């Protein structure tokens, strides 16, 4: 890999902020002057997708990127940085060579129809007896450069076509069907009840108390962080809300 890639990897491992995905993204993008292309940040030397997990584990199942989007960056090192709330940043190489399969929405994937996305669990943690870790990135990317896009696509098509659904189709019983249809009338009755009015008034009051903070939080790009923060603002009592501010 080139020098800029090595500098990036070292920065993520040793110098970048941790635990907060938005903070990490903003800091790293400013430091390396990266351009944003939807979910991917890139320059002429490498591309990166940031992901987030509350867990300290190296495993994560988040959907990372579509295969068609990855194709644009597969000739340069493509990194996935997992920002972990309870641990240090994890960085992986995620070019097509290092993908096991395409797990998400890949039913129509073929050599002429690039469909589907890969999850964090689809990224290989070992390749050619080497761990997918910074100390091996030079070696691993050199192997990737020796393979064509079509070689990896063919392998991914074969691997993804063998995926079988884990659960059987839900076939409700007559009782379950009745409960499902009855839920409509129950919901309608609740919306017209005094209890609903009490809850609605309480929710409106809570939202009005922190409406400015909710508007500020609405600009957070990460949907998970944005949703959790707004939920915390609304559900917290006055003392807890002051701590969040």
136 DSSP 8-state letter: G
From the list 69, 75, 68, the residue with the least C-alpha distance to 2 is 75
Assign 105 a pLDDT band (cuts: 50, 70, 90). low
Q: What is the mean pLDDT of residues 117-131?
A: 96
Please report which confidence band the pLDDT of residue 161 belongs to, taking 50, 70 and 90 as the band edges.
confident
- Strand bridging mode 40-42 / 47-53: antiparallel
CB neighbour list of residue 211: distance below 8 Å, 6 or more residues apart: none
Question: What is the per-residue pLDDT across 52-79, written as a single tens digit (0 to 9) for each?
Answer: 999 999 999 899 999 999 999 999 999 9
Reduce the DSSP state of residue 172 to 3 states and report it. Answer: coil
Query: Residue 186: which pLDDT band, with cuts at 50, 70 and 90?
Result: very high
How far is residue 163's CA from residue 70's CA, in Å, rounded to a whole number? 21
Rounded distance, CA 58 to CA 2, Å? 26
Calculate mean pLDDT across residues 152-160.
90
Q: What is the pLDDT of residues 125-153, one digit of tens each?
A: 999 999 999 999 999 999 999 999 999 99
pLDDT: is 114 or 237 the higher one? 114
Mean pLDDT value across residues 177-200:
93
pLDDT exceeds cutoff 60 at 166: no
On average, the pLDDT of the chain sits at 91
Strands 78-84 and 47-53: parallel
Rounded Cα distance, 73 and 40, in Å: 9
Among 93-97, 166-170, 204-208, the minimum mean pLDDT is found in 166-170
């Amino acid at each position: 890999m080139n020098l800029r890639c090595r500098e990036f990897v070292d920065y993520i491992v040793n110098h970048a902020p941790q635990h907060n995905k938005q903070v990490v993204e903003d800091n790293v993008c400013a430091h390396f002057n990266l351009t944003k292309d939807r979910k991917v940040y890139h320059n002429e030397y490498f591309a990166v997708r940031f992901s987030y997990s509350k867990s300290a584990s190296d495993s994560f199942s988040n959907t990372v990127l579509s295969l068609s989007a990855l194709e644009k960056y597969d000739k340069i090192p493509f990194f996935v940085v997992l920002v972990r709330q309870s641990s240090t940043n994890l960085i992986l190489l995620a070019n097509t060579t290092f993908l096991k399969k395409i797990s998400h929405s890949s039913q129509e994937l073929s050599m002429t129809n690039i469909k589907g996305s890969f999850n964090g669990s689809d990224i290989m943690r070992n390749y050619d007896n080497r761990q997918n870790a910074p100390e091996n990135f030079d070696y691993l990317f050199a192997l990737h450069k020796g393979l064509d896009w079509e070689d990896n696509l063919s392998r991914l098509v074969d691997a993804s076509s063998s995926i079988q659904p884990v659960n059987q189709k839900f076939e409700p019983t007559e009782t379950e069907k009745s409960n499902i249809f009855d839920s409509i009338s129950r919901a309608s009755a609740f919306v017209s009840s005094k209890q609903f009015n009490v809850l609605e008034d309480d929710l409106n009051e809570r939202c009005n108390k922190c409406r400015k903070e909710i508007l500020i939080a609405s600009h957070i790009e990460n949907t998970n962080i944005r949703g959790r923060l707004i939920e915390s603002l609304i559900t917290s009592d006055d003392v807890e809300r002051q701590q969040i501010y």
